[in-house]
């Protein structure tokens, strides 16, 4: 591909086959992905990917796993919670005691996302579709499909969060104003649920790695791709002759 660098043992000797005028160029993101992929998606990654594909295949073929869970775990849990709603004689509804283990399972799987999605994930669901689609267009086709599938599941998870909050509100109300048994059960479920949100410090080092090795590599090569463009732009004969003005122009471009 025309964006892939001529590989060398020293990064300062790297040269791209094609340079772009700025990072907003429509082809820049695609070329950036190709550059990153050429260095990170080697045999080791392919082996890891093959294992993940095989694991996913076994998961989909397992007859003991419900079809709805295979399609969308978040939607599967949502349906289970809804089925726990009991209609009372006065026309109101109330969650039965069987909802407790389901909420525990959901919070154990999703953590805080079971209650409310984080900023970026929330934007993917409720943000402007034009921006989301524009971002997806800049991705490699395989990454684009994965991003779309993730957004669909995030939409289901966002909806699931509403049901989880509804159950938590009921437990809080019962802990305040319920009868003795309701107070005891509600406090137990509230305690068990929120204890799951406290990270375990057992066996953890003081300074832990916050990113995977692949994420570190991906960040490094994305930055390298950008720096190679900056270096090329500074060496170019085009643009202002004044060095300070040239740096200012390049900083705006990349």
**Which pTM value belongs to this model?**
0.62
Q: Report the pLDDT averaged over residues 103-121.
A: 90
Confirm whether 168 is domain-assigned: yes
Q: Report the pLDDT averaged over residues 200-205.
A: 63
C-alpha pair distances (Å), 163 with each of 81, 111, 119, 169, 216: 7, 15, 19, 10, 36
pLDDT-based confidence at residue 211 (cuts at 50, 70, 90): low
3-class DSSP state of 95 = strand
pLDDT-based confidence at residue 64 (cuts at 50, 70, 90): very high
Q: Report the pLDDT averaged over residues 174-198.
A: 93
Asked if residue 234 lies in contact with residue 247, where contact means CB atoms within 8 angstroms, the answer is yes
Angstrom distance (rounded) from CA 225 to CA 219: 10
Domain span holding position 190: 66-199
C-alpha pair distances (Å), 151 with each of 83, 108, 127: 25, 21, 11
Number of domain units in the chain: 1
Higher pLDDT, 185 or 210: 185
Q: Report the pLDDT averaged over residues 70-93.
A: 92
**pLDDT per residue over 227-252, tens digit each?**
888 888 888 777 777 878 888 888 88
Asked if residue 165 lies in contact with residue 87, where contact means CB atoms within 8 angstroms, the answer is no
Angstrom distance (rounded) from CA 232 to CA 230: 5
Higher pLDDT, 83 or 139: 83
- The per-residue pLDDT for 155 is 92
Q: Report the pLDDT averaged over residues 165-178.
A: 94
**pLDDT per residue over 7-62, tens digit each?**
444 555 677 888 888 888 878 888 888 888 777 776 666 677 678 778 888 988 99
Terminal CA-to-CA distance of the chain, rounded, Å?
22
Specify which residues 93 forms β-bridges with: 87
Q: What is the overall mean pLDDT for the chain?
A: 83
Confirm whether 100 is domain-assigned: yes
pLDDT-based confidence at residue 158 (cuts at 50, 70, 90): very high
pLDDT-based confidence at residue 210 (cuts at 50, 70, 90): low
And the tokens for 73? 């775990």
Nearest partner of 40 among 202, 243, 219, judged by Cα:
219
Percent composition of the chain: helix, strand, coil (DSSP 3-state, to 5): 65, 0, 30
Angstrom distance (rounded) from CA 218 to CA 45: 12
Higher pLDDT, 78 or 45: 78
And the tokens for 228? 């190679």
| Stretch among 38-47, 156-165, 186-195 having the lowest mean pLDDT | 38-47
pLDDT-based confidence at residue 206 (cuts at 50, 70, 90): low
Confirm whether 234 is domain-assigned: no
Confirm whether 250 is domain-assigned: no
3-class DSSP state of 3 = coil
* E strand or H helix at 34: helix 28-40
């Amino acid at each position: 591909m025309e964006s892939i660098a001529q590989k060398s043992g020293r990064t300062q000797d790297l040269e791209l086959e094609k340079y772009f005028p700025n990072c907003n160029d429509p082809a820049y993101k695609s070329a950036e992905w190709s550059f990153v992929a050429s260095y990170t998606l080697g045999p080791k990654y392919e082996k890891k990917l093959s294992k993940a594909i095989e694991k996913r295949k076994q998961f989909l073929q397992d007859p003991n796993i419900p079809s709805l869970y295979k399609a969308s775990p978040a939607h599967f849990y949502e349906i289970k919670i809804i089925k726990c709603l009991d209609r009372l004689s006065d026309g109101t509804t109330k969650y039965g005691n069987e909802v407790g283990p389901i909420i525990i399972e959901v919070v154990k799987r999703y953590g805080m996302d079971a209650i409310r999605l984080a900023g970026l994930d929330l934007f993917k669901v409720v943000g402007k579709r034009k921006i989301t689609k524009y971002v997806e267009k800049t991705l490699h086709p395989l990454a684009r499909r994965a991003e779309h599938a993730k957004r669909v599941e995030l939409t289901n998870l966002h909806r699931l969060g509403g049901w989880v909050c509804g159950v938590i509100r009921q437990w809080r109300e019962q802990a305040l104003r319920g009868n003795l048994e309701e107070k005891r059960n509600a406090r137990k479920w509230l305690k068990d649920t929120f204890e799951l949100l406290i990270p375990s410090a057992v066996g953890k080092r003081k300074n832990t790695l916050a990113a995977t090795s692949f994420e570190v590599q991906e960040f490094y090569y994305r930055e390298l791709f950008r720096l190679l463009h900056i270096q090329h732009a500074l060496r170019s004969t085009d643009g202002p002759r004044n060095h300070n003005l040239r740096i200012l122009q390049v900083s705006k471009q990349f």
